[in-house]
Structure 1
Amino acid sequence: MNLCSLLSNYKPYDQHEKADFDSFNQFFKLFDKDMWAVRDNKIGHLTASALILNKDRTKMLMGYHNIYKSWSWFGGHADGDLNLYNVCLKELEEETGINKNKFKQIYNNDEQVIDFSVIAVGLHSKKGQIVSEHLHYNVSYLFEVDEQEPLNYRDDEHSGIAWININDFFNKSEYKDTEIIMNIYKRIIEKSGIKV
């Protein structure tokens, strides 16, 4: 689906998403299309992420992220590709070891985005290079996959990967991430109709 037409038809879920959605629209007006999805844009760039649920929709597949030191979803940079659905599936396959054809979209079967969020990324080091603070204009999807699929994580990005009970994830301190990220996860889960 064309990103611009998706933006024109999308209805934000709450005030937080509305604020982020307005930021998305301003970002697209400020920068030429060829600067939306490249890391050369040091102010911000497009990313795609997904929450992955098991078929019973009781667990989420999460990775322990090496940079953020927390259990988090999977996804990555668009790196010039404006087909964020394909970007997301490519990242899911790379980061979980599960063939991208095994993922079934839950929210809608038309490459439908479930959430728009703007995520501030702090100063960090990646592959020996300092990466300045910037924004991720993140498009999110929701998928399900059989939890019996073999997992194979990339140790350059994650130090573990696990199926975590959804209620445990939101209620136990060992899974806590920043409040903003936890609210994004919760919003996506609520949109899917699952009670937390």
Structure 2
Amino acid sequence: MNPTMQAVTRSARDLLKAYLALYPGEALRLIQLHEQLEQGNANVLLRSTTLGHITTSMVVFDPVTRKVLRIAHGIYKDGMPAGGHYELDLSLWLSAAREVLEETGVVVVQMNWHGADSAGLPIDIDTHPIPANEKKGEGDHFHHDFTFVATASSDVPLVPQLDEVNAVDWVFVEELRNSPLERVRRLGAKLEAAFPATAGY
């Protein structure tokens, strides 16, 4: 197995452990990911692993305007963070940053969201089902999505990758509360807790 993938798999296991130390109440819904990572098999990074494979996404936050970057993608017409599959990136954070650049044209910078040295920690991890896609030759499967935090100015030009996304925009972080997707609402709540308006963000 590719040494980079082995190292990233070990890192994913450590990130899950650190994440559950912050959010122990989420352990039950992440049991499948935990079991796959404990096996130490880098196949968890391969999109052919239908039992569940790791994807990455990134919520990009502008603390000056309190806006977050959002894409409309496929069936997710109401907006979600940019993200996608792992592609031999050196880390899951870099995987997510690459997806942001590819899908929106935005270059991001790391950002601490839970004290010092938290920039590389995911703010959310979610396992969710993905329906079959005949065009891609994929059956039903699961994504274990690691969502990271980064920052960028909401004034930068947006260059959407229109063959992958339908639209890109910046919205106030409070608007995530209204998402039809439970994981996006949860992400919004975590962001508001990490960057409260009363603290000057």
TM-score tier (shorter): 0.7 to 0.9
Following the alignment from structure 1 to structure 2, what is the Cα–Cα distance between the partners of residues 47 and 57?
28
CA-based RMSD of the aligned residues comes to 2.4
User: Paired residue for 2:72, among 37, 41, 64?
Assistant: 64
Q: Is the 8 A contact 1:71 1:177 kept in 2?
A: no
Q: Does 1:182 align with 2:184?
A: yes
User: Paired residue for 2:50, among 36, 39, 42?
Assistant: 42
Read off the aligned partner of 1:164 and give its amino acid letter. Answer: V
5+ residue gaps, structure 2, are 1-7
Q: Normalized against structure 1, the TM-score is what?
A: 0.80
Following the alignment from structure 2 to structure 1, what is the Cα–Cα distance between the partners of residues 174 and 17?
34
Q: Is the 8 A contact 1:42 1:134 kept in 2?
A: yes
Give the 5 Å matches for 1:6-45. Answer: 6-10=15-19, 11-13=21-23, 15=25, 17-30=26-39, 33-45=41-53
Q: Normalized against structure 2, the TM-score is what?
A: 0.78
After superposition, what is the alpha-carbon deviation per residue over 1:110-167, rounded to whole angstroms, capped at 9, x for unaligned? 5222222212222335xx2342221111111111211111110111121211111222
Give the percent of matched residue pairs that are identical in Structure 1 and Structure 2: 21
Per the TM alignment, residue 88 of structure 1 is displaced from its structure 2 partner at its CA by: 0.8
Q: 1:95 to 1:62 in 2, by over 3 A?
A: same
Per the TM alignment, residue 182 of structure 1 is displaced from its structure 2 partner at its CA by: 2.9
Residue 144 of structure 1: aligned partner: 151
Per the TM alignment, residue 79 of structure 1 is displaced from its structure 2 partner at its CA by: 3.6
Following the alignment from structure 1 to structure 2, what is the Cα–Cα distance between the partners of residues 161 and 65?
9
Q: 1:166 to 1:73 in 2, by over 3 A?
A: same
Q: 1:187 to 1:168 in 2, by over 3 A?
A: closer
Residue 106 of structure 1: aligned partner: 112
Q: Does 1:116 align with 2:152?
A: no
Equivalent residues, number: 184
After superposition, what is the alpha-carbon deviation per residue over 1:58-85, rounded to whole angstroms, capped at 9, x for unaligned? 2111011124333111111114547201
Q: Does 1:155 align with 2:162?
A: yes
Read off the aligned partner of 2:190 and give its amino acid letter. Answer: I
Q: Is the 8 A contact 1:37 1:82 kept in 2?
A: no
Following the alignment from structure 2 to structure 1, what is the Cα–Cα distance between the partners of residues 196 and 14?
28
SS in structure 2 of the partner of residue 23 of structure 1: helix
SS in structure 1 of the partner of residue 183 of structure 2: helix
Q: Is the 8 A contact 1:117 1:184 kept in 2?
A: no
Following the alignment from structure 2 to structure 1, what is the Cα–Cα distance between the partners of residues 170 and 119?
26
After superposition, what is the alpha-carbon deviation per residue over 1:82-112, rounded to whole angstroms, capped at 9, x for unaligned? 720111111111111023xx42323245522
Following the alignment from structure 2 to structure 1, what is the Cα–Cα distance between the partners of residues 140 and 22?
26
